[in-house]
Amino acid sequence: MTLTRSRTLWLRTEPLHAVIYFEERCRDLGRALGLKGFWMGYFAARTAPMGPVESGPATAALGVFAPGMVARALPSAWQYVSPGRIVEERAVYTARALRALVPGIDDQAGALCQPLAAMVDDAPSLARPLFTANREVSERTDPVQRLWQLATCVREFRGDAHVAALADHGLDACEALVLAAATNRVDPDTIRHDRGWTEQEWAHAVDRLRGRGLLDGDGRITEHGRTDRELIEDATDRLSARLLRPLAARDADTLLAALERPVRHILAADVITFPNPIGLPQPTS
């Protein structure tokens, strides 16, 4: 797959966002707020900018989680903590993590926030629920909190685009994961468990993809399936590239180069595991 500016933007912002899932103290955020386990904390923190959302809309926005998994966390999480408090606490936790992982992050944050904010402010909200909700809570006086929140906006803009691309290609949530696993993008057993699908649901999705010629009789991806998966990634890149429109090509390249330094520190600290359920690839250098 061609490494476009759009995809490079994802590779240079996803690790900044992902500290909330992988850094040890961030992983304990939900429990610290009185929530029951990691996954209730995950769903509450991920959807908190949308307000006290019910499980149905949350499942639709998140895209690839089993409905029952989301329903075990939402809306019951809001009985323990308000969405507003989670938004504030996740900013505090992630900024603390970034300061520990990236030397000089406060000095870098100001320069990074300016072009990121230009992209986020200019981006359209239509059909982008998680992006729009995060943009509405992106104003932060703390520069590192703001950097994390803007990186999260970029991440959720691409996520909203990816969910739209999956739907456009006629894939349901479980089928999307099965097809991604067939390309070795994610580990099948890990992603099935982490996204809440049963073995039977997974097997039925495999059968449906076989029937459409995307997998062969042994469950391996076909040429048709591989092409379809590449088209989904290309569509995600194309839709996500809208973010870069406010920046001249030279300014976009300057931003991407500047993002490389903090990301390099995060990856060097081995905070993010590989392979991982978010599909972030192992760095090549």
pLDDT in tens, 35-48: 999 999 999 999 99
User: What separation, in Å, do the N-terminal and C-terminal C-alpha atoms of the chain show?
Assistant: 18
Residue 282 confidence (pLDDT): 85
Distance of CA 6 to the CA centre of its chain: 15
pLDDT at 146 over 60: yes
**Residue range 281-285: average pLDDT?**
78
**Residue range 181-187: average pLDDT?**
90
Q: Hey, what's the torsion of the CAs at 2, 256, 236, 45, to 10 degrees?
A: 140
Residue 283 confidence (pLDDT): 83
pLDDT at 2 over 80: no
| % residues pLDDT > 90 (the chain) | 94
pLDDT in tens, 197-250: 999 999 999 999 999 999 999 999 999 999 999 999 999 999 999 999 999 999
In this predicted structure, which of 3-7, 38-42, 191-195 has the lowest mean pLDDT?
Answer: 3-7
CA dist list (Å): 133 to 21, 47, 222, 227, 234: 19, 8, 38, 33, 25
pLDDT at 55 over 70: yes
Report the SS3 class of residue 124. coil
**Residue range 165-185: average pLDDT?**
96
Residue 119 confidence (pLDDT): 98
pLDDT in tens, 93-136: 999 999 999 999 999 999 999 999 999 999 999 999 999 999 99
Residue 285 confidence (pLDDT): 59
| % residues pLDDT > 70 (the chain) | 99
Give 208: exposed, middle or buried? Use CB within 10 Å, 0-12, 13-18, 19+.
Answer: middle
Residue 185 confidence (pLDDT): 84
Q: Strand locations in the chain, DSSP E?
A: none
119 phi and psi angles, rounded to 5 deg: -70, -45
Average pLDDT, the chain: 96
**Residue range 12-38: average pLDDT?**
97
Residue 1 confidence (pLDDT): 44
